[in-house]
A and B are shown apart, each in its own frame.
Chain A
């Protein structure tokens, strides 16, 4: 199962707009995508789950994907995180 580890560097962490963008990207893929943060884990396609992780700036998260487009999904989310969610608008 492909897995990637990231540090969230944008100012506010995974809250508000970044969380929205993250979920909007995740729902484009068929695979199940999980975000792990500390002891909590969340469905990457659920805004409520992602918000409830409380991922602050500087936090480390792990993304895990399982399904036919798992690699692609992780790549897309990686791009989003590494460009600090700056691509849209």
Chain B
């Protein structure tokens, strides 16, 4: 039995055979060919075969992916049909008598190098697309199969890492779990695993690549470990643990719609993070008492023109109706230079996370912003709606945003349109300056919701998506915890409620700690709600307060993690 340590990117245990998704070495030698005509025919046939494969993929992709993602395949197809590339291949093979493999790689590499030389990251990234297409053709020329992402039996997928285009072809119905050599807890694979609700261990290093097809694996996402070819005893142990987990999950599901009240009678609100209508249905089924974060980006991305007021009104209304009278915290548009909105020039920024994004962009585009505010206000009639502004750094931003909200109200009034009257206004606290100014900000709003993902990134100066530093980012870092404690305390002093909609709120280890800090509202992915409620019910506030005080005074996140794990096993 071999044990490999990685990062647990989602919860759960998976047991099953390995399915290897390898990026193999495609070796060939440059040759002078005796019969260039036949070689050119071979080249053309390979290009046609690649075209057929891509057409099949893009049809498949269109059903599953958004426009931007399926457009990748469209571009790949155009590269195969490219007249300049074809002319260069033809002349290299017919005149220079090069073999198809070397003509293909030399020419595609030349283009890739040209793109890599451009000083714009968007263009440089296209070099990877050219190489992707070239590898596809090369495999055909070499008679090698294209990477197989069809699972013939329920399996655990083992790979170096997965790209969005890989996951399109992946047969999710037979997927038991993921195990990758690269990637962190925010990688594409990790996000996919969370969305599918299956266990994943990522960033487990080169050792993962020594796993061979059909090796029996145990994936323990709780501890981030992969066990290869376990002995019978270990296998039995994990099979029992897996069963117990399933039973517990089923049990938690049956109590999901009951309230979350601690042993000593302290009740908190457990609500859902929702990104679209489907999520709202799902959230209600899993016991969400409301929505703690309604992301509105889904309406704005992947389209050529901005959604108008009417379209937004209908989309919000549909979600509010699913929630009925349950509270809904709706966050105004939160995008920046790391996203693409064809109808607003967000520009390309060196540091999009520190740039012109979210409320900053909205305040500079008042008409655009007020369209969203009017749609929300109108849809709010008959519901308990709370509006939340993201990326607030200063008191003056809140005042400006509120002023625009007042304008939006006045405009509706003037147009004799009905709108919701009793609407709470709050801010997302995700910038350290906002946490430090919580006392002043609390006087301006009706609630705070702490966004731990960005708060962690900004407090520790760690870019979440940068692989090399991602391991330094941990919401359990005492620096982040102290800011959270301060925000809750200052909020309560001013008499407003404080929630949390970052990933930490749904992290089982952190729940006693957050209860101890007197957090009022926990907002998380719907799938996490039943378990979170069960954990809250098992807590008592005295113990939680002690846990919180100790954690705040530990020196680092590793200390906090081991302390929290120890206090769970002690209770």
Contacts and interface: CB of A to CB of B under 8 A. Distances in A.
Interface stretch (B97-105, B122-130, B554-562): B122-130
B147 interface: no
Interface string A15-44: 111011001100000000000000000010
A15 B79 contact: no
A64 B120 CA distance: 26
Contacts of B342: 10-11, 84-86
Identify the 5 closest CB pairs spanning chains A and B, nearest first: A46-B84, A54-B118, A86-B304, A47-B78, A52-B114
Contacts of B84: 43, 46, 48-49
A48 B82 contact: yes
B410 interface: no
Max count, chain B CB within 10 A of own CB: residue among A47, A85, A86: A47
Given A11-B340, A89-B67, A23 B78 contact: yes
Given A47-B82, A48-B82, A57-B345, 4 more contacts: A46-B82, A47-B78, A49-B82, A86-B305
Contact of A56 (B75, B115, B120): B120
A24 B83 CA distance: 12
Interface in B61-91: 67-68, 71, 74-75, 78-79, 82-85
B346 interface: yes
B250 to A, nearest CB: 43
A45 B123 contact: no
Nearest to B108: A48
Interface in B103-141: 111, 114-115, 118-120, 122-123, 126, 130
B71 A51 contact: no
A51 B126 contact: yes
A51 B91 CA distance: 22
Contacts of B130: 48
Contact of A17 (B68, B79, B118): B68
Interface in A68-83: none
A4 interface: no
A48 B111 contact: yes
Contact of A12 (B74, B114, B340): B340
What bracket does the count of chain B residues touching chain A fall in? 20 to 34
A57 B120 CA distance: 11
Contacts of B79: 47-48
Contacts, number: 74
A19 B82 contact: no
Contacts of A10: 342
A46 B120 contact: no
A24 to B, nearest CB: 7
Given A46-B84, A47-B78, A52 B115 contact: yes
A48 B68 CA distance: 19
Contacts of A46: 82-85
Contacts of A12: 122, 340, 348
A24 B71 CA distance: 12
A8 to B, nearest CB: 12
10 contacts: A11-B341, A13-B122, A15-B120, A19-B75, A43-B84, A48-B85, A51-B111, A51-B115, A51-B123, A86-B305
Interface in B312-371: 340-342, 345-348
Given A47-B78, A48-B84, A86-B304, A20 B71 contact: yes
A54 B123 contact: yes
B83 A20 contact: no
A44 to B, nearest CB: 10
Nearest to A87: B304
B482 to A, nearest CB: 40
Nearest to A9: B345
A60 B418 CA distance: 48
B111 A52 contact: yes
Contacts of A11: 340-342, 345-347
A23 to B, nearest CB: 6
Nearest to A89: B67
Contacts of B341: 11
A16 B304 contact: no
Contacts of B85: 46, 48
B82 A16 contact: no
A16 B71 contact: yes
B78 A20 contact: yes
Nearest to A88: B304
Interface string B296-313: 000000001100000000
Nearest to A19: B75
